[in-house]
């Protein structure tokens, strides 16, 4: 049995397991060594308990990471894995995913790893649409090197390397991924196990590159960076859940029981803005279409994210469209070229003798 | 009219023109004709880094030198006997290389005051006695071409473009080359543009007839085929042979080839070539940068492919960190460096051997990497197969050091029989290799990714998808055996030594060095590596012809050195090491064997000149033995050689 019969088309050709697995099967014997309270623990737990749902053979799952706190991830999963070098995981995973169609390939990376030193590989993996799922743990700080600002830190951030405040504008990872032609772009939060698992499932189900930004708290060097979107008192007004086919509403419930705030088109700019539903009417609220081929609206949604102290952020799947993947095409070209040329010894002999030859008796 | 036929044993011809004049194609066609005629040959293309440098200028000159003979030859030749110059700049740029009495065939068409001044001439050299020392054949080849092809109705400009074929036809006549291969080639190449095809074929034939009928050319030369071992031959460039060798490494190991590469001169042709061979299961990935090229190749190796990356020196600089990761993760990987002039962007289209120490040491930490170097264009095939063998057998990245001269130069190649190629055994791990006892006292089967093979010290290669062998590798130090992260000081020391010992073990698999010392009495050894094989061999022959005794050894393996190298070095009174760098192999040999080798070093972006080297060898033999040779001259004037000791 392969996973074609399972609800994960993104994993077609990956052999399915005959014996049901549990989260424990995916825990390696290595002691987990993140700081107490680190958001990475929650994501690891969620991934370990979610992986059995994929129904894949454990030996056909590979996690590739770069460098950073989160990049220790592969050591704690009893699958195949490589803890590689800073920023290069998407490149290594591209080779792995292109060489083999029977593997489920995961990249674990962070904001510094993926967006700073490895930015080039990230955008090119996205535009190629290689079959892999990229989990970007965004803690908005450099943890492993002990607290310098990162490419997602808010402007003016005071850190060890920026005592008078950082000077560079942060990236919005979702905007970046959409700009890089990402075909599956989503955001979730470490502390929301249910949402995290749902997004990971959808990412695994997607054929091509899935990009998932995970807001991850670093209690040691950047504690509270996500308080507004996590705190029970504020999160209803801060998180904007995106659900395909549903109006984008959030905040404390209004008269109709749905969020009192909604995302509407701004006729003046063509962009999106947040409005009180009571003022604009429920019909004016934008219905989320993650499957729209044009990424413009998804991009506009990503811009609703507050770039500073993060008091507002849409979460969920911004975009999910079917485009042909690089590795499927690469293997397809080889299959086509091989047809009728399977005898490699014969082919090699013909190759070596190609062009003008002459015989010396 | 009847023409005199004169026998020659060898000829060196250089075709030179503007980069837009098609000189590379002309040289290549002449080479193919010569190869199929059965001469031994060696070629040296030389072109500017700019795609179209300003027309008619010295920097825009492109040339192609071919040396062919009725006997076995080793180099493209020091100085041309014949120069074909298509414009004033081509004449001026190459004149200095011509020995007295050389023949110059020149297209006078472009010798206008404007073009003369672009080339830096104040007077027309065709009208003064500037070329008095040479046999000059000056004709308006362009006009003759236009006239010959006028029936095809091409514009004057397009018609004139076929002048390179006219020149080729003329030179083909002068040396009695067969014409059919070129006619067939042109028919194939321009099949879709019949008027261009016909113009080129006609120009080529017209050039031939011009030689045959005009009284200006009274002598036709003949260079008889060279005796060569029986077999089927083809002419091949180093990049092509290297690409074929990689394909063979894949078929002989049964591992699909995965090339991750980023375009760079002079390595890109390997990417182009391999991208045509998907029928062998070859995947070529043109990456976003050099780092991604090698990263993807390493990822493919982890997946069970033969991972390969191809580049030149600047690309190696970018790949260094990933090479270190491959050293640490002990995965097979072939890293091809087609060396060019450096540092930095350096001389992209010129040759050099100055990446040896980069290949050897250019990484952080103790990071040993085996190094293999081909010695001639055709040898790139065997060297690539050898690099694949070492990479797969020892689970290690391997540096394959070609260079610009090998990449673009060509020579006849006796095509090997596929069944004679070595088999390479990947020997994938399929089962647990270690037992432990768990808390309950039961035996548990485990897979330890760093338990080594006793002979090779290679670790097991377990590819994803293999049940029960799930494991994690990475750049952090590994604990011996189990491979988990280890910060233990003793373990680190042990692993550093073990990685070195594994690379050193490769020497046990190498054949003894071939010492070319015909009398066994030589006291001077000339030792080289890479593309200097040709010039060194030719220089050693000259010295021997002059009555000197000189031994020659050429290294294919630069790391580890062959086991018998130390004894060989110590058995000679003097060792000369010619290199196109400032003494990199010299430095390694001195450090390793405490032998006071004498360097012979030029870094001109061009192959070493055999005549100059022969004279330096002669000096060393004289200084060592007190012998004086009869003469090492070969008729060409040899500039004074510079003998330098190690920096
Ligand atoms: S430094 Fe921050 S991100 Fe890193 S492990 Fe500690 S808490 Fe987690």
**Partner A contacted by B422 (CB < 8 A):** no
Structure-block tokens of residue B53: 């440098």
If we measure between CA atoms, which residue out of B599, B597, B506, B513 comes closest to residue B559? Answer: B506
Cβ contact (<8 Å) for B234 and A357? yes
Q: Which residue of B has its CA nearest to A74?
A: B472
Tens digit of each residue's pLDDT (9 = 90 or more) over B28-58: 999 999 998 899 999 999 888 787 778 899 9
CA of A111 to the centre of ligand 1 (A): 13
Most A-contacting residue of B28, B244, B288, B324 (CB-CB within 10 A), to test interface: B288
Task: Provide long-range contacts, Cβ within 8 A and 24+ apart, for A258-262.
Answer: A258/A282, A261/A237, A262/A286
Q: What is the tens place of the pLDDT at every residue in B286-317?
A: 999 999 999 999 999 999 999 999 999 999 99
How many CA within 13 A on the CB side of residue B82? 21
Q: Is A178 in the pocket of ligand 1 (CB under 6 A)?
A: no
User: DSSP assignment, residue A23?
Assistant: G
Q: Is the CB of A149 under 6 A from ligand 1?
A: no
Q: A153-162, pLDDT tens digit by residue?
A: 999 999 999 9
A71 CA from centroid of ligand 1 (Å): 11
B635 pLDDT higher than 80: no
Q: Is the pLDDT of residue A6 over 60?
A: no
> What residues contact residue B336 under an 8 Å CB cut-off, 6+ apart?
B242, B267, B270, B308, B309, B310, B311, B384, B387, B400, B402
Whether B631 shows a pLDDT value over 80: the answer reads no
A329: nearest CA partner in chain B: B283
Q: How much is the pLDDT for B647?
A: 37
pLDDT of A180-210, one tens digit each?
999 999 999 999 999 999 999 999 999 999 9
- Is any atom of ligand 1 closer than 6 Å to the C-beta of A326? no
pLDDT in tens, A98-117: 999 999 999 999 999 999 99
Q: Label residue A361 by pLDDT band (50, 70, 90).
A: confident
Q: Is the CB of A143 under 6 A from ligand 1?
A: yes
Put simply, whether A323 touches B (Cβ < 8 Å) is no
Ligand 1 atom at minimum distance from A37 CA: 7
Residue nearest to atom 1 of ligand 1 (CA): A143
What is the maximal distance between C-alpha atoms in chain B? 103
**Pairwise CB contact (< 8 Å): A100 & B244:** no
Task: Please tell me whether residue A80 adopts helix, strand or coil conformation.
Answer: strand
Residues of B in contact with A356 (CB under 8 A): 32, 35-36, 181, 234-235
Q: Does B320 touch chain A (CB under 8 A)?
A: no
Residue B49: what pLDDT? 79
Q: Which CATH number fits domain B4-222: 1.10.3720.10, 3.40.50.300, 3.90.1150.10, 3.40.920.10?
A: 3.40.920.10
Judge: A74–B474 Cβ closer than 8 Å, yes or no.
yes
Cβ of A280 closer than 6 Å to ligand 1, yes or no, is: no
B174 has pLDDT over 70: yes
Dihedral class, residue B120 (left if φ above 0, else alpha if ψ from -120 to 50, else beta): left
Tokens 């909604």 -> residue: A262
Is the CB of residue A317 less than 8 Å from the CB of residue A184?
A: yes
Q: Give the closest residue to A88 by CA, choosing from A57, A61, A109, A59.
A: A109
ipTM of the complex: 0.97
pLDDT at position A94, please? Answer: 98
Residue A124 is nearest to which of B228, B292, B302, comparing CB atoms? B292
Instruction: Give exposure, B447-467, as e/b (b: 16+ Cβ within 10 Å).
Output: bbbbbbeeebbbbbbbbbbbe
Proportion of chain A in helix, strand, coil states, percent, rounded to 5: 35, 25, 40
CB of A220 within 6 A of ligand 1: the answer is: yes
Q: Whose CA is nearest to atom 8 of ligand 1?
A: A38
Does A160 contact B at CB distance below 8 Å?
no
Which uninterrupted H or E stretch holds B379?
Answer: helix B379-394
Structure tokens at B217: 């050319």
Amino acid B632: pLDDT: 57
A37 CA from centroid of ligand 1 (Å): 8
Among all residues of chain B, which has the CA nearest to that of A123?
Answer: B288
**CATH code linked to domain B524-642:** 3.40.50.920
- Measure the CA–CA gap between A116 and B505, rounded to whole angstroms: 40
Interface with chain B: mutation pick from A28, A33, A91, A349, highest number of B CBs within 10 Å: A91
What distance in Å separates the CA atoms of residue B162 and residue B145, rounded to the nearest whole number? 7
Q: In Å, what is the CA distance from B74 to each residue of B71, B283, B377, B416, B535?
A: 10, 35, 11, 20, 7
Q: For all residues of chain B together, what is the average pLDDT?
A: 94
A contact residues 72-131, partner B, Cβ 8 Å cutoff: 74-75, 78-85, 88, 91-100, 102-103, 120-121, 123-124
Chain B hits for A118, CB-CB cut-off 8 Å, are: none
Interchain CB contact of B245 with A (< 8 Å): no
Residues of chain B with CATH 3.40.50.970: 233-420
pLDDT in tens, B577-592: 999 999 999 999 999 9
pLDDT of B639 reads: 38
Q: Give all strands of the β-sheet with B306-311 in edge-to-edge order.
A: B283-286, B257-261, B306-311, B333-339, B397-403, B371-372, B557-559
Q: For residue range B237-284, what is the model confidence (pLDDT) as tens digits?
A: 999 999 999 999 999 999 999 999 999 999 999 999 999 999 999 999
Q: How far is CA B411 from the centre of its chain?
A: 10
Residue (of A303, A316, A292) closest to A269 by Cα position: A303
- pLDDT tens, position by position, B586-615: 999 999 999 999 999 999 999 999 999 999
d(CA A303, CA A178): 11
**Residue B142 main-chain phi, psi, to 5 deg:** -65, -50
Pick B627 or B236 by higher pLDDT: B236
pLDDT digits 0-9 by tens, B530-549: 999 999 999 999 999 999 99
Using an 8 Å CB-CB cutoff, list chain A residues near B228.
Answer: 360
Q: What b/e string do you get for B573-607 counting C-beta neighbours within 10 Å, with b at 16 or more?
A: ebbbbbbbbebbbbbbbbeebebebbbbbbbebbb
Residue range(s) in chain B whose domain bears CATH number 3.40.50.920 = 524-642
Question: Within the 202-231 window of chain B, which residues sit less than 8 Å (CB to CB) from chain A?
Answer: 228-231
Q: How far is the CA of B439 from the centre of ligand 1 (A)?
A: 32
Of B181, B229, B251, the CB nearest to A356: B181
Judged on CB neighbours under 10 Å (0-12, 13-18, 19+), A125 is: buried
Q: Tell me the mean pLDDT in the region B62-66.
A: 95
> What are the tens digits of pLDDT across the range B392-404?
999 999 999 999 9
User: Hey, are the CB atoms on A62 and B464 less than 8 Å from each other?
Assistant: yes
How far does A30 lie from chain B, in Å, by closest CA? Answer: 8
- The response to whether residue A315 sits with its C-beta less than 6 Å from ligand 1 reads no
Inter-chain touch A359–B278, beta carbons under 8 Å: no
Distance (Å, whole) CA B385 – CA B421: 9
Inter-CA distances, B531 with A329, B383, B402, B481, B599, Å: 39, 12, 8, 41, 16
Q: HSE-up of A96 (CA within 13 Å, CB side)? A: 31
CB contact under 8 A, A81 and B472: yes
Q: What is the SS3 string spanning B123-162?
A: CCCCCCCCCCCCEEEEECHHHHHHHHCHHHCCCHHHHHCC
pLDDT at residue A2 in the model: 45
Atom of ligand 1 lying closest to residue A222 CA: 2
Question: pLDDT of B480-515, one tens digit each?
Answer: 999 999 999 999 999 999 999 999 999 999 999 999
Could you give the percent of chain A with pLDDT greater than 90? 92
Instruction: Pinpoint the residues of chain B covered by CATH 3.40.920.10.
Output: 4-222
Q: Tell me, what's the pLDDT at A284?
A: 96
Residue B101 CB contacts under 8 Å (≥ 6 apart), including other chains: B133, B134, B135
**Contact assignment for A345 to B325 by CB distance below 8 Å:** no
What confidence tens digit (pLDDT) does each residue in B516-535 have?
999 999 999 999 999 999 99
Residue A232 at interface with chain B, using a CB cutoff of 8 Å: no
**pLDDT tens-digit series, residues B339-382:** 999 999 999 999 999 999 999 999 999 999 999 999 999 999 99
Q: How far is B51 from chain A (nearest CA, A)?
A: 27
Residue among A143, A148, A149, A215 whose CB has most ligand 1 atoms within 8 A, to mutate: A143
Cα–Cα nearest to A121, from A169, A75, A72, A64: A64
Residue keyed to tokens 């088999």? B423
Residue B229 CA to residue B204 CA, distance in Å, equals 33
Q: Is A40 in the pocket of ligand 1 (CB under 6 A)?
A: yes
Mean pLDDT of the residues in chain A? 94
Q: Which CATH superfamily is domain B233-420 in?
A: Thiamin diphosphate (ThDP)-binding fold, Pyr/PP domains (3.40.50.970)
Q: Are B137 and B108 in contact (CB under 8 A)?
A: no
Q: Is A355 on the interface with B (CB under 8 A)?
A: yes
Report pLDDT for B634.
47
């Amino acid at each position: 049995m392969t996973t074609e019969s399972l609800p994960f088309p993104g994993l077609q050709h990956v052999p399915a397991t005959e014996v049901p697995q549990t989260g424990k099967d995916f825990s390696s014997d290595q002691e987990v060594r993140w700081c107490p309270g680190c958001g990475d623990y929650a994501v690891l737990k969620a991934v370990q308990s979610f992986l059995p749902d994929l129904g894949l053979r454990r030996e056909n799952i590979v996690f590739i990471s770069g460098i950073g706190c989160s990049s220790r991830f592969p050591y704690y999963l009893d699958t195949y894995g490589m803890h590689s070098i800073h920023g290069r995981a998407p490149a290594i995973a591209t080779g792995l995913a292109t060489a083999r169609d029977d593997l489920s390939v995961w990249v674990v990376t962070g904001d510094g790893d993926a967006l700073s030193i490895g930015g080039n590989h990230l955008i090119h993996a996205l535009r190629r649409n290689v079959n892999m799922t990229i989990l970007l743990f965004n803690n908005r700080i450099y943890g492993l090197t002990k607290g310098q600002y990162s490419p997602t830190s808010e402007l003016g951030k005071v850190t060890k390397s920026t005592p008078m405040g950082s000077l560079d504008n942060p990236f919005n990872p979702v905007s970046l991924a959409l700009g890089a032609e990402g075909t599956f772009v989503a955001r979730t939060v470490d502390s929301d196990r249910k949402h995290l698992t749902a997004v990971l499932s959808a990412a695994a189900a997607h054929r091509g590159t899935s990009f998932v930004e995970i807001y991850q708290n670093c209690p040691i060097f950047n504690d509270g960076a996500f308080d507004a979107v996590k705190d029970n008192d504020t999160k209803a007004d801060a998180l904007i859940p995106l659900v395909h086919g549903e109006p984008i509403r959030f905040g404390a419930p209004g008269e109709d029981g749905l969020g009192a705030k909604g995302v509407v088109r701004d006729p003046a700019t063509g962009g999106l803005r947040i409005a009180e539903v009571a003022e604009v009417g429920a019909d004016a609220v934008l219905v989320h279409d993650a499957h729209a081929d044009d990424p413009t609206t998804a991009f506009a949604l990503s811009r609703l994210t507050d770039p500073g102290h993060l008091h507002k952020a849409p979460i969920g799947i911004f975009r999910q469209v079917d485009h042909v993947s690089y590795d499927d095409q690469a293997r397809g070209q080889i299959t086509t070229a091989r047809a009728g040329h399977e005898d490699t010894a014969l082919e090699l002999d013909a190759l070596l003798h190609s062009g003008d030859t002459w015989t010396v008796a | 009219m009847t023409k005199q036929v004169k026998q020659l044993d060898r000829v060196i011809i250089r075709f030179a023109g503007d980069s837009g004049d098609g000189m590379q194609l002309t040289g290549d066609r002449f080479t193919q004709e010569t190869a199929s005629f059965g001469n031994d040959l060696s070629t040296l293309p030389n072109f500017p880094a700019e795609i179209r440098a300003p027309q008619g200028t010295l920097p825009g000159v492109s040339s192609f030198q071919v040396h062919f003979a009725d006997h076995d030859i080793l180099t493209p030749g020091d100085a041309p006997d014949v120069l074909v110059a298509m414009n004033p700049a081509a004449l001026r740029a190459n004149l200095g290389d011509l020995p007295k009495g050389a023949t110059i065939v020149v297209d006078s068409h472009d010798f206008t005051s404007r073009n003369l001044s672009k080339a830096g001439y104040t007077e027309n050299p065709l009208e003064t006695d500037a070329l008095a020392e040479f046999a000059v054949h000056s004709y308006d080849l362009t006009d003759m071409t236009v006239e010959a092809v006028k029936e095809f109705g091409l514009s004057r400009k397009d018609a004139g473009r076929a002048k390179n074929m006219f020149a080729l036809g003329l030179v083909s006549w002068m040396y009695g080359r067969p014409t059919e291969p070129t006619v067939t080639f042109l028919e194939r190449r321009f099949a879709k543009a019949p008027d261009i095809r016909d113009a080129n074929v006609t120009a080529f034939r017209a050039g031939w007839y011009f030689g045959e009928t005009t009284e200006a050319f009274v002598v036709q030369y003949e260079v008889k085929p060279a005796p060569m071992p029986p077999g089927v031959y083809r002419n091949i460039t180093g990049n092509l042979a290297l690409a074929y060798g990689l394909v063979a490494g894949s078929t002989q190991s049964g591992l699909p080839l995965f090339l991750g590469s980023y375009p760079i001169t002079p390595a890109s042709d390997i990417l182009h070539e391999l991208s045509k061979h998907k029928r062998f299961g070859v995947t070529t990935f043109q990456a976003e940068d050099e780092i991604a090229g090698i990263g993807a190749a390493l990822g493919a190796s982890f997946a069970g492919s033969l991972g390969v990356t191809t580049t030149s020196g600047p690309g190696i600089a970018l790949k260094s960190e990933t090479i270190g990761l491959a050293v640490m993760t002990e995965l097979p990987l072939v890293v091809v460096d087609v060396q060019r002039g450096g540092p930095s962007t350096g001389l992209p289209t010129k040759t050099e051997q100055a990446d040896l120490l980069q290949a050897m040491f250019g990484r952080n930490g103790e990071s040993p990497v085996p190094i293999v170097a081909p010695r001639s264009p055709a040898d790139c095939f065997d060297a690539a197969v050898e690099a694949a063998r070492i990479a797969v057998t020892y689970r290690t990245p391997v540096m394959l050091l070609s260079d610009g001269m090998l990449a673009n130069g060509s020579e006849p190649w006796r095509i090997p029989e596929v069944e004679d190629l070595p088999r390479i055994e990947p020997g994938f791990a399929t089962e647990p290799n270690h037992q432990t006892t768990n808390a309950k006292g039961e035996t548990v089967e485990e897979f330890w990714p760093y338990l080594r093979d006793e002979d090779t010290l290679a670790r097991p290669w377990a590819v994803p998808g293999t049940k029960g062998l799930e494991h994690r590798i990475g750049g952090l130090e590994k604990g011996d055996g189990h491979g988990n992260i280890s910060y233990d000081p003793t373990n680190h020391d042990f692993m550093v030594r073990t990685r070195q010992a594994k690379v050193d073990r490769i020497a046990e698999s190498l054949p003894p060095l071939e010492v070319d010392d015909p009398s066994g009495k030589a006291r001077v050894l000339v030792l080289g590596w890479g593309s200097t094989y040709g010039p060194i061999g030719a220089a050693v022959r000259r010295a021997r012809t002059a009555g000197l005794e000189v031994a020659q050894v050429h290294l294919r393996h630069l790391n580890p050195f062959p086991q018998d190298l130390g004894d060989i070095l110590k058995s000679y009174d003097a060792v000369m090491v010619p290199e196109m760098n400032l003494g990199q192999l010299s430095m390694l040999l001195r450090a390793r064997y405490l032998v006071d080798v004498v360097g012979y070093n030029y870094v001109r972006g061009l192959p070493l000149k055999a005549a100059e080297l022969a004279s330096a060898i002669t000096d060393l033999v004289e200084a060592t033995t007190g012998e004086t040779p009869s003469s090492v001259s070969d008729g060409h004037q040899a500039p004074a050689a510079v003998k330098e000791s190690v920096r």
